[in-house]
Amino acid sequence: QFGNMIEVRTGRKSQHLPIFVRMLDKFSSWGYENGLKSMVTTLLQFGVVGYPFVLPDMIGGNGYGNIPSRELYIRWLQVNAFMPALQISFVPWQYDQEVIDHALKMTKLHAQY
């Protein structure tokens, strides 16, 4: 059994269903061109067309070919903490204890809201 929520990449005329529509893969970069800076605008765009449950891309981006920098990873955690769901591809312990502590803090903050 899958539970009461599922994830899809596409969902034509499915706005009325309780499903997570996943953003397309984001680059592990800072920019507006599919990087971290495009997360909020993409989330808003999904909301405007009627999708209330948006699954952002993995924290840190897709990382194709490289692991995101420590600073990029932390900022991505902070942005995702205020989005409907968290999904982790790169684990915080790949960095250091400070990042682990911050990840726990952001996860707790996400759960509160």
What are the tens digits of pLDDT across the range 17-74? 888 898 989 999 999 999 999 999 999 999 999 988 888 889 999 888 788 999 999 9
In the predicted structure, residue 2 carries a pLDDT above the cut 60: no
d(CA 84, CA 1): 22
Other C-beta atoms lying within 10 Å of the C-beta of residue 107: 16
What are the tens digits of pLDDT across the range 30-39? 999 999 999 9
Q: What pTM did the predictor assign?
A: 0.86
